[in-house]
Amino acid sequence: MTNNTEQFSLDFIAFAVQKEVLRFGEFKTKAGRLSPYFFNAGLFNDGESLMKLGEFYAAAITNSGIQFDMLFGPAYKGITLVASIAIAFAKNGHNVPYAYNRKEAKDHGEGGIIVGSPLKGRVLIIDDVISAGTSVRESVALIDANGATACGVAIAIDRQERGLGELSAVQEVVKNNQIPVCAIANLNDLMKYLQNQQDMVQNLHSVTAYRQQYGVD
């Protein structure tokens, strides 16, 4: 990892903490674990922060080298994420189509569950984090059913913790779906950030202990 890339990730962590999107305390995860931190992208809830979030995602996707034709954001959080990322790419001269799904099929008007551009070509899935991989599995199935190909997943934070087995949840997605996953930042970056914050020593201790119990490199 280059210094520029590392600083980029640390800047994102600082941004998420500033906006209180990344919080510290005690939070129960989907896996039933008590985590000392929680990331909720839905709390990027104003225009400026959503704009910056999209720019962070677009930069991380570009740096990953993943080749894609369009973006897909699974409902509900993925809807605003995918729109903000498409706007960020357009500002940089790369106009890409995007789509998202409805939770329930619409039985009037245009009907169906896909909103936006038709799913075709190489589709990059957008999510905030990967916990159990359920959202990714459902997205891949939906993309396949529409004759397109899921080419990867972009997330905000890789928690780098075990999924169902010895692999991390992200590694399981890569293995089970044969697609790459890129993240703006990961648990390593979070710990580096905390190490430089004198008022967050207790949070560093809690995150370190949690990683020792559940972490995967």
Residue 100: enclosing H or E segment and its boundaries?
strand 98-106
The one catalytic residue in 30, 106, 175, 205 is: 106
Assign residue 107 the CATH number of its domain. Answer: 3.40.50.2020
CB 211 within 8 A of CB 156: no
Per cent of the chain over pLDDT 90 is 84
Report the predicted TM-score, pTM, of the whole model to 2 decimal places.
0.93
- The rounded distance, in Å, linking the Cα atoms of 128 and 39 is 8
Q: Is 120 a catalytic residue?
A: no
Q: Is 30 a catalytic residue?
A: no
Q: What is the pLDDT of residue 15?
A: 98
Question: Using alpha carbons only, how large is the chain's radius of gyration in Å?
Answer: 17
- pLDDT at 109 > cutoff 50: no
Q: What is the pLDDT of residue 99?
A: 98
The one catalytic residue in 108, 120, 175, 205 is: 108
What mean pLDDT value characterizes the chain?
93
> pLDDT tens digits for 12-58?
999 999 999 999 999 998 778 999 999 999 999 999 999 999 999 99
* 134-145 and 169-177 helices, crossing angle to 10°: 20
Number of domains in the chain: 1
Identify the domain containing residue 51 by its residue range: 3-214
Q: What is the pLDDT of residue 3?
A: 67
Q: Which residues contact 84 (CB under 8 A, 6 or more apart)?
A: 50, 51, 53, 54, 57
Which is higher by pLDDT, 107 or 125? 125
> pLDDT tens digits for 162-184?
998 899 999 999 999 999 999 99
